[in-house]
Structure 1
């Protein structure tokens, strides 16, 4: 190496050729995420307690996995309430973010979508697809008082985005 290259190499303590590497810096301590607000928890609880709309999809408008669940529900004739956390009504003061924290606190999952039927947490997209394919979703929907047409939606996994590798049901 030239003198100039040696000078550059010597200027990077963790990447030196002429000395042992300096230890990597310790990771920054993670602070616990702030607890969800009472208003956001109450909002989620009120949505889930609504017996007029017992099938609830917490979603993002741009999310392909949310689109996949919407396509499944349309094909299966399942009427549902969509709570789009990135929609206009949820943008002010990051209300959607606050509701998402409350949702994560309730489910233990930080991913979207999250689906509930009659207040029961079904899960995300793949758990919902598994529940549909096994018939458990239809039973939950009927138990919540929602009429289902005799529509055969077929394998729910066909609604996933085309860029995904083919998946098999976990059931």
Structure 2
């Protein structure tokens, strides 16, 4: 009877250790899942806020300033549907600069570049490094005039995938045919 009792005790002990190990590993997975959710939310909020500020001050059409005409064009790459890069002019501190958003699938990040008039980069920022698996921008305005932009991205971690779809309205709507906005620059 002693051997049978010892085998039952070892079996019970192994079962208890197995249950404890499962509880511990499930807690770690839960913590990792929560951390990934927080990382995805932070990357989404920061990128959406910066993109919204840029789009609100975007110039979607050519304008005239006291310095002369500014040929403002919004460029999508490769095209207006599912573009992975976008370049447009915007107002910053009383001057017009070029802003470019580029998705780098190798590094899984979105880069925001500010370009000077000669094309050199004056400022660069990175968003969601290692998290963004897919990033596209589409022109969803009825007239295809870049007055509404649809940002779609997928953030992916080890345990969690988050899909984000947001629509942003341009702050300066196109003036219509035969007219142009006139801005005074210092």
Which structure shows the bigger proportion of residues in strand conformation?
Answer: 2
TM norm structure 2: 0.27
TM norm structure 1: 0.28
The structure with the larger Rg is 2
- Flag the structure with more relative contact order, 1 or 2, with Cα contacts below 8 A and sequence separation at least 6: 1
